Amino acid sequence: MSLTNPEVLARTGGREIKAIVFGAEQIAARVAELGAEVTRAYPEGELLLIGLLKGSFLFLADLVRHVARPVVVDFMVASSYGDGTVSSGNVRLLYDPATDLAGKHVVLVEDIVDSGNTLRRLLALLASRRPASLSVCALLDKAAMHSPFEELRFVGFDAPPAFLVGYGLDYAEQYRHLPFIADLA
């Protein structure tokens, strides 16, 4: 799909994007694979997927349709960006999952791991609630931006060092609806 394609420009409100980094078909195929990986990793026990909102909502919705076993879904809302393009480092928990985590296999579903600061703080909080296991399934990982951590078990794509939007990722609440992931710069 061309960046000057009228459909792309209509979806972005006329704002040009630098590049489509991951296309809709590429995303769909990888999400299906991730669903199969999660299914194989947790053949038994209670499985709880917690979507980190708002960015993960499209990814989580597609992912759970590919998890071929019973699963419970809940959500968390944390904020560290505001209207900026760089994490502020100040993590605010705006909504806490209502589901009891004790004894469950918990997979935190994230749109993108950037600095890892928000994720590390949330993992510490979730671990204190005594799940049977705790892991992260991230659609995108900017591995060069953070030190490794063992909970990051499922990764869709290695992300380039760009500000990405689409498929749930936003800039100031815009562009989440794009069916592809694009470099906004």
Q: Report how far residue 87's alpha carbon sits from residue 82's, in angstroms, rounded to the nearest whole number.
A: 8
62 as an active site residue: the answer is no
DSSP alpha helix (H) spans, the chain: 6-11, 24-41, 57-64, 117-127
Burial (0-12, 13-18, 19+ Cβ within 10 Å), 72: middle
Q: DSSP assignment of 52-94, as one string?
A: EETTTHHHHHHHHTT--S--EEEEEEEES-TTSSS--S--EEE
Contact of 18 with 182, CB cutoff 8 Å: yes
Q: Give me the catalytic one of 62, 111, 114, 141.
A: 114
Q: Report how far residue 118's alpha carbon sits from residue 164's, in angstroms, rounded to the nearest whole number.
A: 17
- What type of residue sits at position 18? K
Partner residues linked to 169 by β-bridges: 166
Catalytically active residues are 114
